[in-house]
Structure 1
Amino acid sequence: MHRLRTEARVHDDIDLSTHLSRAQLEELCADLFERAVQPLDSVLQQANLTLKDIAAVEVIGGGVRVPKVQQVVKDRLGSLELSMHLNGDEAMAQGAAFYAANISTSFKVRPIGVTDILPFGVGARLEEAVPEEEKGGGGFLGALGLKKKKEEEKEQATEKWQRRATIFAPGHKLRSNRTISFNTSKDIALNLTYEASALFPPGAQPTIALFDIRGVSELVREHGTKTSYPPKVFLTFELDASALVHLVKAEARLQEDAPPSSEAVGVSPLTGVPSIPPHCRPHSPRTHPRSPFLLPFALAQNADAPSEEEDGEGEGGKEAEAEEKKDAETVKKVDGQNATAGNTTSSNTTAPAPPKPIVHRKILRVTSHYEGLRLRPGTEEEKESSKQKLAALRANDQLKREKADARNSLEAYLYEVKNKMMEHEEELSLVSTDEQRSAVLAQVEATDDWMYDEGRDVEASVYKERTTQVRALAVPIFLRQAEGPGGARAAALEAAVKNVAEVRALVKRWNVTMPWLTEEEKESLLSEATVVETWLQEKEAAQAAKEGHEEPAFLSIDVPPQLKKMKDIARRLGRKPVSREGRGGRHGGREGVGGVGTGGRWPDPRRKS
């Protein structure tokens, strides 16, 4: 017996608290457990496999922790054992991350055997579009022929051109293209839709998009008098990595008829039928199943559905050209034999090469529509409005973050000040008066009370202003503590005095080790050392005359700038090369103060220049 409880108030502020046994839970969820094995059957059916073809089963997901779920799955798998070697909660995310890294160009990881496929078939329904001059408004519904009842009744008297084609079958790999082709002399209305399937969610919208494809009729008006056959239209679709289908290209091609030949038409002595010159013969639909220029009986043969070509139409065009060339060569050979048998032409006479056919190409205009669809992409205005709303939400979130950061910073600083005042009370008493410390604590308490009253929800700038007020009282005390006896100021003074002593000792050594230095140069360094030494003595005396709670005469950060000029002179002189007059000295090394300019190394007295 297990107790089931939820903290949510299910009705009238009353929590649900009840006892439920495992048997009762399994009885209530019996239909859910039955549905747990349906995906197993569906997957096996789609893969055309049976349980005998399966070697191992790995279960993932939090639901498999339920004993009943494990039981129904085991019963369906029979002798196969359930493996649980992976982390059921993280396995899906880990697999998706590996797959994303495999298809990415920015990462190089071990390839994994994952094939992303299209779960539902996608097809196209093609209809003759209403001419633009007759459409008369109505949007794309008119282009599809979905007009008023009177217009529908009028059109029923005439046969309408319609075609259907499957573009991507269920299970098709993602990131691929497919081209369909068909003959028509009219503009086209295309309905891109999901094909009927038992797996398709009930109530979902099957129509993906509606397209109005224009330009075919223009091509016919421009060049239709030069051919006996309608143009051939090629539509190329792309299935991207997100399983979305796009119409990426629409093109129409129209080939002119071959010009009439001046060669007389004779009678073949072998067959007894008129002999037609090779370049005047139409292409055979048997040898050219994909040719865009089919004979009338070939058109009837393809009336059920458009032809399909994988990965574009480029390869199909090459195959058609090769077959045409082969067919022309065959005709030439037969005609040559006929001419020899009938003694009508010389055996050395060859048939003239047929002229290259003229093909007119036109990129069609494609307009997408979503009129009458429950689900559709957003318009540019809707997208721009959404972007503005998102920008306003981001700005509002940024203000909230700044306000929260400012409030948290103020609260943390108040606790920091309180803790320092209590923990370092003895040290602070040396550098502050009782009135100064009391003023700080009073300001901290007043600000703390304000935060939970009037300052519970104010702007970030107000919290920052309050922080500044507390810091104005607390920072001077803490600074005097850090700079006080034994603090940073005393350490800076000690280091400065040591540097001055090093400079004076360095000048004495230069008299021996660097004799090419002039007296004026060495005197300039000693003079600067004296200036630093005087400044240090004056500041130290001024600080000694002040009380601990008063503003310091100087701080530790004021000392390094006073030493800069002295160190620069010492560095420059220590790097001065030996002159020709001074090459006779004992040593030719370089020296500086505190290792500055010398890399911290003194010259070797055993080294000769």
Structure 2
Amino acid sequence: MSVVGFDLGFQSCYVAVARAGGIETIANEYSDRCTPSFVSFGPRNRAIGAAAKSQVVTNCKNTVQGFKRFHGRAFSDPYVQSAKSHLVYDLAPMPSGSTGIKVMYMEEERIFSIEQVTGMLLTKLKETAESALKKPVVDCVISLLATAFDSELGGKDFDDILVNHFCEEFAKKYKLDVKSKPRALIRLYQECEKLKKLMSANSSDLPLNIECFMNDIDVSSKLNRGQFEEMCAGLLAKVEGPLRSVMEQSKLKKEDIHAVEIVGGASRIPAIKERISKFFGKELSTTLNADEAVARGCALQCAILSPAFKVREFCITDIVPYPISLKWNSAAEEGDCEVFPKNHAAPFSKVLTFFRKDPFTLEAYYNNPKDLPYPNTTIGQFLIHNVVPQASGDSAKVKVKVRVNIHGVFSVSSASLVEVIKSSEEEEPMETDQTAKEEVKQAGFHSQPHTIAQASKKSIHSTSTEDAKQEKKNDQPPQAKKPKVKTKTVELPVENKLHWQLSSEELNMFVENEGQMIMQDKLEKERNDAKNNVEEYVYDMRDKLHGVLEKFVNEADRDSFSLKLEDTENWLYEDGEDQQKQVYIDKLAELKSMGQPIHERYLEAEERPKAFEELGKQIQMYMKITEAFKAKDELYDHLDELEVVRVEKQVNDAMVWMNSKMNQQNSQDLTKDPVIKVKEIQAKTKELYSACNPVLSKPKPKVEPPKEEKTENGPVNGQEGSENQPCNPDKAPAGTEQETAENKPPEMDID
């Protein structure tokens, strides 16, 4: 089972995996652990990650970045409208009113939702993880924005300040309207990001130079850290706000904080470090990799949740970041109730009790709009169906279970109708107050609102009154007992209408579209690989024809092949610029039909001496053994003479064959096919080995030591003669069987 953590950042992404040795951050296909959060759309395929970032200047209108902040926002959201003017690519409304991204893909205009583009990036990260793990990724943990912090206090916001500064400077100095040219604006963003990082390490003046920036004009400027901090004073002033919020929500004092660890790329800015350190009154800790810490934390959380890993026990409690309330409006009444206060533990479930005669709707919303970073506070509506009154006409009791799950998502997970049924005197009630409580407990309902608590109190109070009355009735004549009551629980269907939630049809369509785009990317990659193979072969063979292959091809064939290679190169950049995969495969096969024989002659010439040398070594070894046998060497005196004679003949034949082939090959021109090929020499070597080795490597037979004679005249070395004999009862004399059985010593080694 895979255990993976994904940090889906605003500008870059990281992937971490948990293995037996610990948690590690893995690299992508470019051997880089950082994957840019970029997606680029082209006429034939998509590019994602580093490949997309490389197209941000050349294909700026169709390369999207920084789209993470648009999640869950309507196109009419003031934030979206404000950010729209600073983007190079275009935004457009989706049919649902949410924000979409408009690009040209496959030669047509397409609008993709933010969820779709995020899914594309996650698909790329998933491929990176699977490539490293060599197995599919099924379960993972994905990072989200920290809700306690300011979403507009990141590295990109500091870049924006630098870009605006230089846009104003270049407008005055060079009369250039940078924001009117998307490519120039992107180049300026890239240079400002580099300058920001350099200023974190240097306090002196640093230059900014861009050649051919706009209208073939070179621009230059300089900036130092002090000037940068002065420009960013407004942003830096916002640093302490989230810190105070964290302390207030956690109900801790500064004295309770043992250490402060900072992570995130922007935390490297000295002014931010200084303000955080001053707030807590202690030195900051930077033991973690600021860029990779979030991904590694996600992988650790995934390992904690996974049954495949055993992690040291420690508790991580997630919370509900914003207070959630429910309101209802029906013919019976209107109401409002906070079900999950701010910082309530999650995951968590609660049960609410309503008394209704008809179906009703619950609306969930965030009840503190000031803290919410989005203008719309609505979570969704939940319609409880099939609610009917009791048989008596009274309102029925409806139990509604609400839940915030492990992902922090609120929902009405279930609803049930409690039907009251009168029973005869002898029948036992199906549900009592105590059993109802046990059911709630078994169902995992951690707490219940006041409505249920009041109902329980009433039940308890009623029971106590009945007990008191019963004592008084003990002296009275027996009366007819009232029929007991039993209840039946019926599950009710709940219709969810969550705000911005994709319908099943939309989700299936997005999944299908993503599958089609993945297939198109794969086909385009195969087509490009086939084209690159042709181009690579052309360059490789053109160089070798006048290098290592020169003496293996005659002049006429070399000129003809060189001309063919040149024609193919020209074709690649003209008519062959955009062809189908099979066209490139056929073109490569055509070239190889001319170049392969030349290359094979070269390989044969390289490997042939080694093959002859190996055969020669075997022949010499076998000849030495046969000569030793003739010289009566005791190492080989056990060999059969006829077999050795036969081996000697085979060795001599092999020697004659090898010398003959070597002489023929030496007289053969290198531009012609070889007389003898390496495979034939290797086959001859194997044949000689199979014929000679079994005969000449036959081991000498073992000589068994002579058996000692039986002693009849008494003990030898203080032992009885019978003890020196093998213990074989079948060979023992009949008259001594009993004696042998009685006098036989324990089994042991005897010298």
8 A Cα contact 1:125 1:162, kept in partner = yes
Q: CA 1:115 to 1:325, structure 2 compared with 1: closer, same or farther past 3 Å? A: closer
* 1:32 CA drift (Å): 1.1
**Largest Rg, 1 or 2:** 1
Q: Where does 1:389-428 land on structure 2 (aligned, <5 Å)?
A: 389-424=513-548
Match of 1:483 among 604, 613, 628: 604
Match of 1:177 among 349, 355, 362: 349
Q: What SS does the corresponding residue of 1:58 show, helix, strand or coil?
A: coil
Residue 336 of structure 2 is aligned to residue 164 of structure 1: yes
The equivalent residue for 1:264 is none
Q: Where does 1:530-609 land on structure 2 (aligned, <5 Å)?
A: 547-558=669-680, 592=694, 602-603=699-700, 605-606=702-703
Residue 252 of structure 2 is aligned to residue 49 of structure 1: yes
Task: Specify the code of the residue in structure 2 equivalent to 1:240.
Answer: N
Q: What SS does the corresponding residue of 1:362 show, helix, strand or coil?
A: strand
Q: CA 1:540 to 1:503, structure 2 compared with 1: closer, same or farther past 3 Å? A: farther
8 A Cα contact 1:567 1:593, kept in partner = no
* 1:120 CA drift (Å): 1.1
> Which whole-Å CA distance do the structure 2 matches of 1:330 and 1:22 have between them?
79
* 1:398 CA drift (Å): 1.9
The equivalent residue for 1:463 is 584
Match of 1:96 among 298, 319, 329: 298
* 1:75 CA drift (Å): 4.3
> Which whole-Å CA distance do the structure 2 matches of 1:360 and 1:8 have between them?
80
Task: Specify the code of the residue in structure 2 equivalent to 1:93.
Answer: A
8 A Cα contact 2:422 2:484, kept in partner = no
* 1:37 CA drift (Å): 0.8
8 A Cα contact 1:124 1:191, kept in partner = yes
Q: CA 1:545 to 1:8, structure 2 compared with 1: closer, same or farther past 3 Å? A: closer
* 1:17 CA drift (Å): 4.2
Task: Specify the code of the residue in structure 2 equivalent to 1:551.
Answer: D
Task: Specify the code of the residue in structure 2 equivalent to 1:472.
Answer: S
Q: Where does 1:279-294 land on structure 2 (aligned, <5 Å)?
A: none
- Deviations 1:127-148 (CA, angstroms, capped at 9, x unpaired): 33xxxxxxxxxxxxxxxxxxxx
Q: What SS does the corresponding residue of 2:674 show, helix, strand or coil?
A: coil
* 1:163 CA drift (Å): 3.2
> Which whole-Å CA distance do the structure 2 matches of 1:560 and 1:191 have between them?
82
The equivalent residue for 1:339 is 474
> Which whole-Å CA distance do the structure 1 matches of 2:626 and 2:387 have between them?
98
The equivalent residue for 1:148 is none
* 1:119 CA drift (Å): 0.8
Give the percent of matched residue pairs that are identical in Structure 1 and Structure 2: 21
Task: Specify the code of the residue in structure 1 equivalent to 2:385.
Answer: R
Task: Specify the code of the residue in structure 2 equivalent to 1:413.
Answer: Y
Q: CA 1:466 to 1:289, structure 2 compared with 1: closer, same or farther past 3 Å? A: closer
| TM-score, scaled relative to structure 1 | 0.64
Q: CA 1:199 to 1:512, structure 2 compared with 1: closer, same or farther past 3 Å? A: same
> Which whole-Å CA distance do the structure 2 matches of 1:9 and 1:63 have between them?
30
Q: Where does 1:278-317 land on structure 2 (aligned, <5 Å)?
A: 310-311=445-446
> Which whole-Å CA distance do the structure 2 matches of 1:537 and 1:187 have between them?
102
Residue 321 of structure 2 is aligned to residue 119 of structure 1: yes
8 A Cα contact 2:346 2:406, kept in partner = yes
Q: What SS does the corresponding residue of 1:182 show, helix, strand or coil?
A: strand
Q: What SS does the corresponding residue of 2:506 show, helix, strand or coil?
A: helix
* 1:40 CA drift (Å): 0.9
8 A Cα contact 1:215 1:362, kept in partner = no
> Which whole-Å CA distance do the structure 2 matches of 1:4 and 1:99 have between them?
43
Match of 1:364 among 482, 492, 512: 492
Q: CA 1:178 to 1:501, structure 2 compared with 1: closer, same or farther past 3 Å? A: farther
- Deviations 1:332-386 (CA, angstroms, capped at 9, x unpaired): 576346535x6x57xxxxx99987642122111122235xxxx522233333332
8 A Cα contact 2:355 2:396, kept in partner = yes
Q: CA 1:207 to 1:61, structure 2 compared with 1: closer, same or farther past 3 Å? A: same
* 1:500 CA drift (Å): 8.6
> Which whole-Å CA distance do the structure 2 matches of 1:484 and 1:354 have between them?
110
Task: Specify the code of the residue in structure 1 equivalent to 2:699.
Answer: W
> Which whole-Å CA distance do the structure 2 matches of 1:184 and 1:507 have between them?
110
> Which whole-Å CA distance do the structure 2 matches of 1:105 and 1:165 have between them?
38
8 A Cα contact 2:425 2:482, kept in partner = no
Residue 573 of structure 2 is aligned to residue 443 of structure 1: no
Task: Specify the code of the residue in structure 1 equivalent to 2:600.
Answer: L
Match of 1:234 among 377, 380, 399: 399
8 A Cα contact 1:492 1:559, kept in partner = no
* 1:210 CA drift (Å): 1.7
Q: CA 1:246 to 1:488, structure 2 compared with 1: closer, same or farther past 3 Å? A: farther
Q: CA 1:110 to 1:19, structure 2 compared with 1: closer, same or farther past 3 Å? A: same
- Deviations 1:144-195 (CA, angstroms, capped at 9, x unpaired): xxxxxxxxxxxxxxx6423333332221233333322222222121212222
- Deviations 1:434-461 (CA, angstroms, capped at 9, x unpaired): 3334444443344344434444443443
Q: CA 1:336 to 1:114, structure 2 compared with 1: closer, same or farther past 3 Å? A: closer
* 1:412 CA drift (Å): 3.3
Structure 2 residue runs without a partner (length 5+): 1-203, 707-751
Aligned Cα root-mean-square deviation (Å) = 5.2
- Larger mean Cα displacement after TM superposition, 359-368 or 19-28: 19-28
Task: Specify the code of the residue in structure 1 equivalent to 2:290.
Answer: G
The equivalent residue for 1:208 is 379
Q: What SS does the corresponding residue of 1:487 show, helix, strand or coil?
A: helix
Q: CA 1:494 to 1:201, structure 2 compared with 1: closer, same or farther past 3 Å? A: same
Q: CA 1:514 to 1:190, structure 2 compared with 1: closer, same or farther past 3 Å? A: farther
8 A Cα contact 1:228 1:257, kept in partner = no
> Which whole-Å CA distance do the structure 1 matches of 2:618 and 2:481 have between them?
102
* 1:200 CA drift (Å): 0.6
8 A Cα contact 2:264 2:291, kept in partner = yes
The equivalent residue for 1:192 is 364
* 1:25 CA drift (Å): 3.5
Q: What SS does the corresponding residue of 1:390 show, helix, strand or coil?
A: helix
The equivalent residue for 1:26 is 229
Q: CA 1:119 to 1:503, structure 2 compared with 1: closer, same or farther past 3 Å? A: farther
- Deviations 1:29-85 (CA, angstroms, capped at 9, x unpaired): 2221221111011111111223333333233333333333334334433x3333334
Task: Specify the code of the residue in structure 1 equivalent to 2:496.
Answer: S
8 A Cα contact 1:60 1:88, kept in partner = yes
8 A Cα contact 2:360 2:383, kept in partner = yes
Q: CA 1:125 to 1:552, structure 2 compared with 1: closer, same or farther past 3 Å? A: same
Q: What SS does the corresponding residue of 1:436 show, helix, strand or coil?
A: helix
* 1:244 CA drift (Å): 1.3
> Which whole-Å CA distance do the structure 2 matches of 1:407 and 1:400 have between them?
10
- Deviations 1:65-106 (CA, angstroms, capped at 9, x unpaired): 3333334334433x3333334333333333333223322333
Q: What SS does the corresponding residue of 2:321 show, helix, strand or coil?
A: coil
Size of the alignment, in residue pairs? 492
> Which whole-Å CA distance do the structure 2 matches of 1:173 and 1:258 have between them?
42
8 A Cα contact 2:612 2:658, kept in partner = no
> Which whole-Å CA distance do the structure 2 matches of 1:536 and 1:353 have between them?
118
The equivalent residue for 2:181 is none
Structure 1 residue runs without a partner (length 5+): 129-158, 262-278, 293-307, 346-350, 571-590, 596-600
Q: What SS does the corresponding residue of 1:435 show, helix, strand or coil?
A: helix
8 A Cα contact 2:644 2:696, kept in partner = no
- Deviations 1:581-600 (CA, angstroms, capped at 9, x unpaired): xxxxxxxxxx83687xxxxx
Q: Where does 1:236-251 land on structure 2 (aligned, <5 Å)?
A: 236-251=401-416
| TM-score, scaled relative to structure 2 | 0.53
- Deviations 1:228-283 (CA, angstroms, capped at 9, x unpaired): 7532222223322321123322211122346589xxxxxxxxxxxxxxxxx99x99
Q: CA 1:56 to 1:26, structure 2 compared with 1: closer, same or farther past 3 Å? A: same
> Which whole-Å CA distance do the structure 2 matches of 1:424 and 1:594 have between them?
43
> Which whole-Å CA distance do the structure 2 matches of 1:68 and 1:552 have between them?
75
Task: Specify the code of the residue in structure 1 equivalent to 2:247.
Answer: L
> Which whole-Å CA distance do the structure 2 matches of 1:333 and 1:237 have between them?
38
Residue 214 of structure 2 is aligned to residue 86 of structure 1: no
> Which whole-Å CA distance do the structure 2 matches of 1:126 and 1:454 have between them?
68
* 1:117 CA drift (Å): 1.8
